[in-house]
A and B are shown apart, each in its own frame.
Chain A
Amino acid sequence: MIASLKSGGLPFLLPMLTLMLGVFIVPFGVLAAYSLMAGDAPGLLGNYADFLSDWFNVEVVIDTIKLAAMVTVAATLVGTPIALLYWHGGSFVRQAVVFLTLLPLLTSNVVRTFAWIVLLGREGPLVAITHALGLTETPTTFMFTEGGLVLAQTQIELPLLVLPLIAVLSRLDARLVEAAEISGAGPWRILGTVLIPLALPGYIAGWILTFASATTNFVTQTTIGGARHIYLPQYVFREVGVLFDWPSAAAISVILVISTGSVMLALAMLARHPRLVGSV
């Protein structure tokens, strides 16, 4: 009986495996092949050469990665105190933190973006506050600014950073922290040398999710970033929806996957680095 439990599962997996290979993986292959072969551009890499030969386009790639990096850093700074609140809190505080992290995550992205449009706008409270404090001279708006976009996206992606972090903390052996306390380490030292190193796998998982989501958040980028701040997803949309240039759209999509994927891959490899993770 025990043997039967560790086998015989494969037939149950086949439908989903077929679906994922046939309808998810294969279209990605088709996209890559199409970006190389379709279109009028000469040569195998013609569509790519066309796009990357314009320095403005290269800047859009760099801006997209920069935006996602800023959002990830900001989410780390804001997410760490939330995770610590969870770690030190009792049962009620812990449940509250989990609930208050899940609710925004499960609230539509369009809804959260809408709230930020009102908050950042000319008649919004942020403008009123900064004006009252004398930080801005005339009433202005934070809409269509990079700072406003980073602020909004930080809140929107924040649950993706916090959830893996508290998932790791909830499994963390409290005796390791107690041992550090008994040895006379102060709270900051425990944070820096015990808690954060042990939580690093959670941070890395969170960074990957946050970064991925921040690069492709089309809705927030186009509405709050506006026409003056352009990122790759908007480009892809313009090529498909406005210019009907599918070969270019395919090439830009592949560039989007490669440029952001390489950052995520680097983070994933960091997670496997034996001297960084799990060495405490």
Chain B
Amino acid sequence: MFERRSSRIASIAYWAFVYGGGGVCVVFLIAPVVVAMLLSFTSAKTLQFPPPGFSLQWYARLIDPVASEQIHISAWNSVKIAILAVLGSLVFTVPASYGMVRIPARLANILEPILLAPLVLPALVFGIALLITAALLGFRPSTPLVVVSHLVVFGPLMFRTTAGVAARLDPGLEDASMLLGSSRLGTFRRIIVPLLTPGVLAGAFLIFVQSIDNVSMTMFLAPPGTSVLPLRMYAMLEQQLDPRIAAISGVLIIVSLVALIVVQRLAPLLRDKD
């Protein structure tokens, strides 16, 4: 009897741990995102949590073309950098993800770590490495250099999402196209690329988010005086908190939320059964 009761207590404790503990930990995981969102609607003049009331005043300040001119310029600069990094990644990673499933497995095992190295090595150190290498070659910090660094370090994210789709392609489609006389390149362009689109979109989203957020490489490689969003936001954190940072955060969270919902439908970043 005693043994059965103790096992029942152990069982109750386990389910409390899974659902109670798990629930609390999920709240901890998501809370700062919710907090940043709520703060953006504060009616107060300073950032305090919980906010005393609702208002859109900080969004109004953020939209104001005069008061927030510098933020607008830096946001536009960052969007341009992110778009160029995404376009550059398309050129390099989409063919590579297809090539990866069309080479012998042993060769793929050797090459893959080279293509994915930027995901493990610290981006901060790469920023300095690129700064020094560029300086030795006679280049100064510039916006193109920032784009190149984002392309190289975040491009592998698109390679990964696209390669995931490429690995599940039906080889029969390719066979059919080539039997009907299409060249390999033509087959790639007309058959493979359209099929890879979901993976490309998921990768583009990941690169965009990382690029807009990157401080560690951008601060070394951006030319002095150029204003980009992550550096401006970082400066806002270091000085006394400008409540407009809450409104910028709100915008970024909503963009991520919408993009995440779209991507999870098209090409889930994590499948339930893979």
Q: Does A85 contact B (CB under 8 A)?
A: yes
* Cβ contact within 8 Å between B117 and A34: no
Cβ-based interface call for A276 (8 A): no
Interface residue B47 (Cβ < 8 Å from any Cβ of A):
yes
Evaluate whether A216 and B122 lie within 8 angstroms (CB atoms) in the complex, with A30-B133, A119-B49 already known: yes
Instruction: Determine if B237 and A219 form an interchain contact, defined as CB atoms under 8 angstroms apart.
Output: yes
Contact assessment for A216 and B270 in the assembled complex, using a CB-CB cutoff below 8 Å: no
Q: Which of B54-62, B68-76, B101-109 contacts A (4 or more CB under 8 A)?
A: B101-109
Chain A residues with Cβ below 8 Å from B115 are 16-17, 20
Contact A15 to B213, CB < 8 A, known contacts A6-B104, A107-B33, A264-B120: no
Please pick, from B31, B128, B241, the residue contacting A249 in the complex, using a CB distance under 8 A.
B128
Number of B interface residues at 8 Å Cβ cutoff, please give it: 106
Cα separation A23 to B156 with both chains bound (whole Å): 13
- Known A-B contacts A31-B132, A246-B132, A256-B125; the reply to A114 vs B249 at CB < 8 A is yes
B264 at the interface (CB under 8 A from A): yes
Contact pick for A1, options B100, B136, B178, B257, CB 8 Å = B178
Within 8 Å by CB of A111, from B30, B36, B215, lies B36
Answer whether A111 and B253 are a contact pair too, CB < 8 Å, given A9-B98, A20-B152, A78-B28. yes
Q: Which residue of A lies closest to B264 (CB)?
A: A99
Residues of A within 8 A of B95 (CB): 12-13, 15-16
What are the interface flags for A235-252 relative to B under an 8 Å C-beta threshold, 1 for contact and 0 otherwise? 011001100001001100
Contacting pair A12 B96 (CB below 8 A): yes
CA of A99 to CA of B261, assembled, Å: 9
Q: Contacts A16-B159, A102-B269, A119-B32: A114 and B274 contacting too (C-beta < 8 A)?
A: no
Q: Is the CB of A253 within 8 A of B96?
A: no
- Compute how far the CA of A7 lies from the CA of B128 in the bound complex, rounded to whole angstroms: 38
Known: A208-B120, A250-B128. A110 touches B18 (CB 8 A): no
Given the complex, which residues of B lie within 8 Å of A4, measured CB to CB? 178
CA distance A208 to B120 in the complex (A): 8
Give CA–CA (A79, B253) in the complex, Å: 23
What are the residues of chain B within 8 A of A250 when measuring CB–CB?
A: 128, 132
Give the interface segment out of A40-48, A50-58, A87-95, A130-138: A87-95
Looking at B18, B39, B230, which has the most chain A CB atoms within 10 Å of its CB? B18
- Docked Cα-Cα span, A240 to B217, in Å, equals 12
Interface residues of B in 193-231 (CB under 8 A from A): 205-206, 209, 212-213, 215-216, 219-220, 230
* Structural contact, A104 and B32, CB atoms closer than 8 A: yes
Interface residues of A in 226-280 (CB under 8 A from B): 233, 236-237, 240-241, 246, 249-250, 253, 256-257, 260, 264
CA distance A113 to B153 in the complex (A): 22
B209 touches A15 (CB 8 A): no
Instruction: Specify which chain B residues have a CB less than 8 angstroms from the CB of A215 in the assembled complex.
Output: 122
Question: Taking A5-B171, A12-B188, A218-B215 as contacts, is the C-beta distance between A110 and B35 under 8 angstroms?
Answer: no
A111 to B35 CA separation, bound complex (whole angstroms): 10
A241: chain B residues at CB < 8 Å are 219-220
Bound CA span A188–B122, Å = 38
Task: Give min CB distance, A125 to chain B, whole Å.
Answer: 6
When A20-B117, A85-B23, A236-B128 are in contact, do A116 and B32 touch as well, CB less than 8 Å?
A: yes
CB-contact partner of A78 in B25, B96, B107, under 8 A:
B25
Q: What mask results when residues 248 to 270 of chain B are scored 1 for a CB within 8 Å of chain A, else 0? A: 11001100110110001000011
CB within 8 Å for A240 and B128 given contacts A114-B246, A119-B32: yes
A117 within 8 A of B: yes
Query: Can you list 28 contacts pairing A with B, beta carbon distance less than 8 Å?
Result: A11-B99, A15-B95, A16-B95, A20-B152, A24-B152, A28-B126, A34-B136, A106-B205, A107-B36, A107-B253, A107-B256, A108-B209, A108-B256, A110-B213, A110-B230, A117-B241, A155-B32, A163-B270, A167-B270, A171-B273, A186-B11, A212-B122, A218-B216, A219-B234, A223-B237, A246-B128, A246-B132, A256-B122
Q: Which residues of A pack against B, CB within 8 Å?
A: 1, 4-13, 15-17, 19-21, 23-28, 30-31, 34, 78-79, 81-82, 84-85, 88, 91, 94-95, 97-104, 106-119, 123-125, 155, 158-159, 162-163, 166-167, 170-171, 186-188, 191, 208, 212, 215-216, 218-219, 222-223, 233, 236-237, 240-241, 246, 249-250, 253, 256-257, 260, 264
Top 8 A-B pairs ranked by shortest CB distance?
A9-B102, A12-B99, A85-B22, A115-B32, A16-B96, A9-B99, A13-B99, A27-B129
Name B residues whose Cβ lies closer than 8 Å to a Cβ of A: 7, 10-11, 13-15, 17-19, 21-26, 28-33, 35-36, 39, 47-50, 91-93, 95-96, 98-104, 107, 111, 114-115, 117-118, 120-126, 128-133, 135-136, 148, 151-153, 155, 159, 171, 174-175, 178-179, 184, 188, 205-206, 209, 212-213, 215-216, 219-220, 230, 233-234, 237-238, 241, 245-246, 248-249, 252-253, 256-257, 259-260, 264, 269-274
